[in-house]
Amino acid sequence: MRKAIFITGGGSGIGRAVAQRFAREGWFVGLADISESGMAETGALLPADQWSAHRLDVRDRAGWDAALADFSAAAGGRVDVVFNNAGIPIGGQIIDLAPEEIERTLDINLKGAIFGAQAAFPHLKRTAPGSVLLSTASAAGIYGTPGASVYSATKFGVRALTESLDGEWAADGIAVRDLMPGFIDTPLLDHAPNRSSNEDIRARVKGAGLEITPVSAVADAAWAAVHGEKLHTLVGKTAKRMGFAARFLPGSVRKQVRAMARPLGG
């Protein structure tokens, strides 16, 4: 029986690239998103008999149960991987952010991942051992980034969720993994970091001299994470440099971030 992966944020960006990567390997793909047009666009890139679409707001706990039940039925009764990928960016000095912006980011990036884990558990337990909960964290979850405090907090939370569930679910045979990408070439980079900014994130990244990693690299990393043993998979030069420095040169990293004259997202 062919394996099946359920992907939130499947209507664009990382979710779309991962859907294509797994479909090429013969997997059945479940696309979950609030954008029905986005899911249709992703689905048009996949073999007609290898995908299904499920409208889902990851903040809706009951919606998670309904979407996964529908996907399991479409996939022939099995769910091998749930990819907690849906997320939004937010940047700027914390004192300049509106409460509703903060709440929306926390709800989608962190609460959505927690609800996804809860809802995924019974499905993944049925296909264990070998089933996987995969989540999109970030290089911002390696060391807190000035100008991205709220976003960093959500991604540290996703990292903590991964580490905690890796222990909780080991006896059930469910693997738990996350991806920690740097700046990835997706439509999210073309958004302003917050409602008071008129410059998109892509311009800020380029202005800081940082590289933008192709989204295909994240898709390949997702495939490797599902089939490998790494708890955290760092994707892109920025993430790998930050991971090395945070581990071996923490004092240097602290000095560098404190000296940033214009934080990303600020």
List, for residues 139-167, the tens digit of each pLDDT value: 888 888 888 899 999 999 999 999 999 99
* Structure-token pair, residue 60: 């809706």
User: What gap in Å lies between CA 95 and CA 110, rounded to an integer?
Assistant: 21
What pLDDT, on a 0 to 100 scale, did the predictor assign at position 228? 97
Per-residue pLDDT band at 265 (split at 50, 70, 90): very low
Q: Domains in the chain: how many in total? A: 1
Q: Give domain status of residue 266, yes or no.
A: no
The answer to whether residue 192 scores a pLDDT higher than 50 is: no
Per-residue pLDDT averaged across 114-125, rounded? Answer: 98
Task: Take residue 159 and report the two structure tokens written for it.
Answer: 């990292």
Average pLDDT across the chain, whole number: 87
Asked if 151 is an active-site residue, the reply is yes
Kindly state the average pLDDT of the residues 226-241.
89
pLDDT at residue 66 in the model: 98
Residue 199 has pLDDT above 50, yes or no: yes
Q: What is the predicted pLDDT for the residue at 98?
A: 93
Nearest to 156 by CA among 110, 88, 205: 110
Q: What is the DSSP letter of 78?
A: -
Per-residue pLDDT, 196: 55
236 occurs within a structural domain: yes
Q: Which of 111, 143, 155, 206 is catalytic?
A: 155
Residue 145 lies in a domain: yes
Could you tell me the CATH number of the domain that includes residue 18? 3.40.50.720
Looking at the chain, the whole-number percentage of residues with pLDDT higher than 70 is: 83
Q: What is the mean pLDDT of residues 16-29?
A: 98
What pLDDT, on the 0 to 100 scale, is given for residue 63? 98
Residue 10 reports pLDDT greater than 80? yes
Is the pLDDT assigned to residue 217 strictly greater than 50? Answer: yes
Q: Could you tell me whether strands 81-84 and 51-55 are parallel, antiparallel, or unpaired per DSSP bridges? A: unpaired
Q: In what order do the strands lie in the sheet with 132-136?
A: 51-55, 28-33, 4-8, 81-84, 132-136, 175-181, 232-235
143 catalytic, yes or no?
A: no
Residue 33 lies in a domain: yes
In a domain, 235, yes or no: yes
- Tokens 């991987």 belong to 81
Q: Residue ranges of the alpha helices (H) in the chain?
A: 13-24, 36-43, 61-74, 99-105, 112-127, 149-168, 201-207, 215-227, 237-248, 250-258
Q: Which residues pair with 175 in a beta bridge?
A: 132
Question: Is 263 inside a domain boundary?
Answer: no
Tell me if 254 is assigned to some domain: yes
Query: Minimum mean pLDDT among 57-61, 82-86, 223-227, 239-243: which range?
Result: 239-243
Domain ranges, residue 108: 4-258
Any domain includes 264:
no
Q: How many CB atoms lie within 10 A of CB 261?
A: 6
Q: How far apart are CA 110 and CA 173, in angstroms?
A: 24
Choice among 111, 125, 151, 206 that is catalytic: 151
